[in-house]
Homo-oligomer: A and B are copies of this chain.
Amino acid sequence: MSKYLEAVEKRRSIYAIGKNSPIIDDEIINIIKHALLHSPTAYNSQANRAVLLIGEDHNDLWDIVMETLRKIVPEKSFSKTEEKINSFKNGHGTVLIFEDVSETKALIDQFPLYKDTFPLWALQASGMLQYIIWTALEDKGLGASLQHYNPLIDDAVKVRWNLPHEWKLHAQMPFGEVLKSAGDKEFEPIEKTFRVFR
């Protein structure tokens, strides 16, 4: 199997993460830059945006998530939510993935025929960026998972880090030292998901 497909297979959702990192922060930064530059976008719109939070900034994000959810989750079931959020806060950092919707809107203005599909392509392109970062981090020995506390936390996040209004949050990726590997994964039979005609 190619090294590429090995990395594809190695990527899993890792929930038990710690403060340490097997690589230095500058290498994490370079991974995200590389992913932003080389992930494909429709019409090369490059509408993807990313924010890396480390240290106190990472902690602040998960405090925002905690306080936001505390207001809406019933008190009696909050301990489970709290435990989950703390497991992400336990990590080394978080990557926030955004779409600059002003770029998508500019494409729609230029090619109105595709007004309904540009937003769908932007989501697919966002998935590609998320995937590249996730797999590249795990390839380097880090554990990561993809979380979605958007849109609940969007306003507080934009205020805290003074981010442009047009950046729409699509995903949060907490990562850190792998404290516990992923368990077995259940697979759909390939006959159900794939067909070949030749």
Contact = CB atoms under 8 A, between A and B. Distances in A.
Interface of A: 1-5, 7-9, 11, 13, 25, 29, 31-40, 44, 46, 48-55, 57, 93, 100, 117, 120-121, 123-128, 130-132, 134-136, 139-140, 146, 148, 161, 163, 170-171, 185-188, 190, 193-198
A36 to B, nearest CB: 5
CB-CB nearest 7 A-B residue pairs: A124-B127, A127-B127, A54-B198, A57-B197, A3-B3, A128-B131, A123-B123
B117 A124 contact: no
A196 B49 contact: no
Contacts of A13: 40
Taken together, the copies of this chain in the complex come to 2
B5 A31 contact: yes
Nearest to A100: B193
Contact of A196 (B4, B29, B188): B29
A120 to B, nearest CB: 6
Contacts of A33: 190, 194
A194 B126 contact: no
Contacts of A93: 198
Contacts of A128: 127-128, 130-131
Given A124-B170, A187-B46, A51 B197 contact: yes
Contacts of A11: 38, 40
20 contacts: A4-B7, A4-B136, A4-B139, A5-B31, A5-B34, A8-B34, A8-B132, A11-B40, A33-B190, A44-B186, A46-B187, A54-B197, A57-B198, A121-B148, A123-B124, A124-B170, A125-B127, A131-B131, A131-B132, A163-B195
Contacts of A131: 39-40, 127-128, 131-132
Contacts of A1: 34
Contacts of A146: 40
A48 B193 contact: yes
